[in-house]
Amino acid sequence: MTLLFLILISRIYYVQVVQGAFWYGEAKERWSAAEVLSAKRGSITDRNGNMLAMDTIAYNIAVNPQAIHDAEIKDEVVNGLNQILDRPKEELRELVTAKNAGGKYFSNREMRQGGWGIDKSLADQIKEFRDQLSKEQEVSDVGIYLTESLKRYYPRNSRASQLVGYLDKEGKAITGVEAFYDEQLSGMDGWIKYEKDGKRVQLAEGEVDFQPAENGQDIQLTIDSDIQYYVEEALQEIVKEYNPKSATVIAADPNTMEILAMANVPTFNPNEFWKSDYSSFYNHAIKSLYEPGSTFKIATLAAAVEEGVFNPDEMFKSGSIKLEGIPKPINDIKREGWGTISFLEGLKHSSNVAFVKLGYERIGAQNLSEYFAKFGFGQKTGISLSNELTGSINLQNPSDAARATFGQGNVLVTPIQQVAAVAAVANGGELLQPQLVKKMTDPITKTTTEIEPKVIRRVISEETSKKVGEYLEQVVSDQKNGTGKNAYIEGYRVAGKTGTAQKVVDGKNYSTDKFVVSFIGYAPVEDPRIVVYIVVDEPNDPQAGGGAVAAPAFKQIVLKSLRKMGVSPSWEIAPDSGKKEATVPVPDMTEKKVAQAKAELAAKALNHELVGNGATVLQQIPPVGSAIHPTQRIYLITEQRDKLVIPNLTGVSLRDALEIASLVGIRLIPEGQGFVVSQKEETLNNVKVLKVVLAPPLGTVTESDPFP
């Protein structure tokens, strides 16, 4: 007995003293519990705060095969989940009967396929089914569990999907802004570690280690959801009529290179990304290389004007040109040409011969190549998206240099490079880095970082920029010879250039029936607010060029965008000019709720102003059916006369100003003619009056104006 006690005491001493620290650590490990505190991913909004991507509550389904087996409800669970989730019964049966290697049923199996990240409506159906099954079978645990989680939700579905990107089912950022700014959006998960008793209840006096989660930053993009809608609407019309292989549109502010819209077709819904194929995720705006065709002539023209070798009145022989060292002559699209014409006429007709003379013969291959590099071709623009391609301009021989002047040969560019280059022509000559993010806000520190425009370099002078704009304007405004005449917008000065490029097949030959057609331009010429590039790959009509396919879409996008921005027309049409001013009919908003009326007018890109604080539109000015200029404001009256205040009348015609003044019960005293440019409330003979000054927008255009 003594020997036994000596052995036990020795063992106790060894365990508690010699190995005491080790076993204490093991015990603490058993007592401790840890939970991950998930960080909330930052939201993504457009420039006006409209939500594009956000975290929302989701639910995950798990089953307990052991509990289901014990309750003998395998078939009931399989049939119920099949009806709610529309998953194959074989798949569900395999899940609810899953066993481990030892042949025992699992106690927990997550339902990853179709039961992960479900929304609340489905979760409510699962709860209802579970409760009903528990009641019918008289069992407390039917082996169906729901846990809350966060999932990424895109409230505007496919709107700007390739730009915004998406997260896969595992929460991994795959494309777009989601992927490029993943680190900033993700934040950092936290944790809590605590001690528990045998029943897994936290010990009141136990140690606690806590690290709070740091939520991700919120990102506000530069895009405008309304302009994005106009762009995607125009793309759908192109698809409907021409069924192209793909099509891309980029809209930007040329003064800052903030991207206002970027879209491609085909597209996809990031909420259901698994339903789309790879081609739908592809952002052609930064990842596709094209021979640009005649839209590239803008760079050659700008270089020629900067070098002083472009005289719009100088004459040349169009049709074809034979150059020393180049075996084949270079032809215009119209091989017989247009006879002897001026270089300005050559620009309007998009003559290849004119640009070979300007770029190859006068500027020279080396100097021209340097201009192309200054415009950013052959270099990444630096846009905040992954996998942007560089493109290339490789002028190995005289033929390459000559053909590069009109955008063919060894010239491969991305759409975003084209936009940045033309924006430099529009904004006064500065190449800017494209911007997608306007600002980022840290939810922890409450600080906001604003992204400022970044100038890369000056490419051409302001004087050259102005001249090139005036020349490109005539490509659009000349309704007889201008290749861009279908982009003409009545009332606005528009500059632009069409492009039609044959596609290379078999790596060396140009196709006779496969083309890439495009249009790029900006408006208004005197103060550019938007530049838009449209490129359509393989429209189903090989005879339809950029002027027929892309220019009408450009017109639609730019007109709606200018109206949305509130940009006044460049001129007022003279009554005797023979031209008809562009007008739109006023839709009926009366008796509609204010929110509905605002949404409908926004969709039609019509400006409006609320008069009063009511919830319903009682009256509108101008009246229903009136023909108004697309930029004119529509007033929505929401209260009775005695409660109204004088609204802003800027831009309103005298007739409408008189009607509004009468409505709010104040006398109007006008000065001048045209549209209201200023207003002032005064007292005259102890009576309140409203004095308004009227003037035409920017004077009157006549047929003698050089650049109407």
- The two three-digit tokens of residue 354, written as one number: 């004119």
On the question of pLDDT at 575 being above 50, the answer is no
CATH number of residue 494's parent domain: 3.40.710.10
Comparing CA positions, the residue from 476, 619, 633 lying closest to residue 564 is 633
Provide mean pLDDT across the span 148-167.
90
Residue 353: per-residue pLDDT: 94
Q: What is the pLDDT of residue 200?
A: 55
**Alpha-carbon 114 to chain mean position:** 30
> DSSP labels for 167-213?
B-TTS-B-SHHHHHTHHHHH-B-EEEEEEB-TTSPBPTTS-EEEE--
Are 563 and 657 in a shared domain? no
Residue 706 falls within a domain, yes or no?
Answer: no
Residue 223 to residue 233: CA distance in whole angstroms: 16
If asked whether residues 521 and 664 sit together in one domain, one would say no
At 283, list the tokens. Answer: 């952002």
Question: How many residues are listed for the chain in this entry?
Answer: 708
Count: domains in the chain: 4
Report which residue type is found at 545: G
Instruction: Convert the pLDDT of each residue in 530-562 to its tens digit.
Output: 999 999 999 998 788 888 999 999 999 999 898
- Is-contact 416 285, C-beta < 8 A? yes
Same domain, 23 and 49: no
- Tell me, yes or no, whether 193 and 271 share the same domain: no
Tens digits of per-residue pLDDT, 459-516? 999 999 999 999 999 999 888 888 999 999 888 899 999 998 888 877 667 887 888 9
Q: Residue 79: left if φ>0, alpha if ψ -120 to 50, beta else—which one?
A: alpha
Residue 573 lies in a domain: no
Where a domain ends, among 190, 221, 252?
221
The C-alpha atoms of residue 530 and residue 305 are separated, in whole angstroms, by 23
Rounded to an integer, what distance in angstroms lies between the CA atom of residue 435 and that of residue 220?
Answer: 11
Q: What is the mean pLDDT of residues 339-358?
A: 94
Q: Binning pLDDT at 50, 70 and 90, where does residue 28 land? A: low
Q: Are residues 291 and 313 in the same domain?
A: yes
Residue 51 or residue 698, greater confidence: 51
- Provide the CB-side half-sphere exposure for 242 (13 A, CA): 30
Task: Please provide the average confidence, as pLDDT, over all residues in the chain.
Answer: 86
114 has a pLDDT exceeding 50: yes
pLDDT given for residue 22 in this prediction: 76
* Cis bond upstream, residue 622 (ω within 30): yes
Whether residue 326 is found in the same domain as residue 427: yes
Clarify whether residues 254 and 197 are in a common domain: no
Mean pLDDT of 106-122: 84
Whether 708 maps to a domain, the answer reads no
pLDDT of residue 6: 87
408 near 501, Cβ under 8 Å?
Answer: yes
pLDDT at residue 38 is higher than 90: no
- β-pair partners for 273: none
- State percent of the chain over pLDDT 70: 91
Task: Report the pLDDT value the prediction gives residue 700, as an integer from 0 to 100.
Answer: 39
∠ CA 351-356-360 to the nearest 5 degrees?
A: 165
Please state the rounded mean pLDDT for residues 96-125.
85
Same structural domain for residues 635 and 562?
A: no
CA–CA dist 218, 42 (Å, integer): 4
Q: pLDDT tens digits, residue range 220-266?
A: 999 999 999 999 999 999 999 999 999 999 999 999 999 999 999 99
What are the pLDDT digits (tens) for 421-475?
Answer: 999 999 999 999 999 999 999 988 889 999 999 999 999 999 999 999 999 999 9
Question: Does any domain span residue 440?
Answer: yes
Checking if the pLDDT of 30 tops 70, the result is no
Which residues span the domain enclosing 630? Answer: 584-700
Do 539 and 607 have their domain in common?
no
Q: Is 568 a catalytic residue?
A: no
Q: Does residue 581 register a pLDDT over 60?
A: no
Distance CA 489, CA 42 (A): 41
Residue 652 has a CB neighbour count (10 Å cut-off) of: 24
Q: Which residues pair with 331 in a beta bridge?
A: 320
CA atoms within 13 A on the CB side of 639: 13
With both helix axes pointing from N to C terminus, report the angle between 225-242 and 551-565 in degrees, rounded to the nearest 10.
160
Which range of 100-109, 176-185, 604-613, 630-639 scores highest in mean pLDDT? It is 176-185
How many CB atoms lie under 10 A from the CB of residue 110? Answer: 14
- DSSP string covering 635-702, please? EEE-S-GGG------TT-BHHHHHHHHHHHT-EEEEEESSEEEEEEEEEETTEEEEEEEEE-SS-EE-
**In this predicted model, which residue has the larger pLDDT, 252 or 87?**
252
In this prediction, residue 585 has a pLDDT band, given cuts at 50, 70 and 90, of: confident
Q: Nearest to residue 83, comparing CAs of 119, 129, 150?
A: 129
Residue 557 lies in a domain: yes
Report the distance separating Cα 318 and Cα 334, nearest Å. Answer: 9
pLDDT of residue 706 exceeding 60, the answer is: no
Same domain, residue pair 319 and 307: yes
pLDDT of residue 279 exceeding 90, the answer is no
For the whole model, what pTM was predicted?
A: 0.76
Is position 682 within any domain? yes
Dihedrals phi, psi of 179, to nearest 5 degrees? -80, -45
> At which of 202, 221, 240 does a domain end?
221
Measured from the Cβ of residue 415, the count of other Cβ atoms closer than 10 Å reads 27
**Bridge partners for 458 per DSSP:** 430
Domain at 658, CATH number? 3.30.10.20
Please count the other Cβ atoms lying within 10 Å of the Cβ belonging to residue 510.
Answer: 13
* Residues 107-132, mean pLDDT to the nearest whole number: 86
Instruction: Tell me which of 669 and 633 has the higher pLDDT.
Output: 669
| Over residues 259-278, mean pLDDT | 92
What integer pLDDT is reported at residue 32 of this predicted model?
66
**Are 210 and 229 members of one domain?**
no
**Catalytic-labelled residue, pool 158, 294, 399, 477:** 294
H-helix or E-strand spanning residue 7:
helix 2-13
Cα–Cα distance, 181 to 179 (Å, whole number): 6
pLDDT at residue 164, rounded to an integer:
95
Residue 648 lies in a domain: yes
Considering the domain boundaries, does residue 579 fall inside one? Answer: no
The dihedral of CA 676, 680, 683, 688: what is its sign?
A: positive
Task: Give yes or no for residue 120 having a pLDDT over 50.
Answer: yes
**Exposed/middle/buried for residue 331 (C-beta within 10 Å: 0-12, 13-18, 19+):** middle
Examine the domain organization and report whether 215 and 256 are in the same domain: no
Give strand pairing partners of 209: 193
Domain boundary pick from 535, 567, 599: 567
SS3 category, 590: coil
Q: How far apart are CA 585 and CA 628, in angstroms?
A: 6
The pair phi, psi for residue 57, each rounded to 5°, is -70, 135
Quote the pLDDT of residue 572.
53
pLDDT: which is higher, 89 or 35:
89
Measured between alpha carbons, how far is 393 from 379 in angstroms, rounded to an integer? Answer: 10
Reported as a single tens digit per residue, the pLDDT across 365-412 is 999 999 999 999 999 999 999 999 999 998 888 999 999 999 988 899
Q: Give me the CATH number covering residue 104.
A: 3.90.1310.10
CA 192 – CA 55 distance, rounded (Å): 22
> What is the DSSP code string of 323-375?
-TT-SSPEE-SSTTBTBEEEHHHHHHHT-HHHHIIIIIIII-HHHHHHHHHHT
- Written as six digits, the tokens of 70 are 């014990």
How far is the C-alpha of 212 from the C-alpha of 349, rounded, in Å? 66
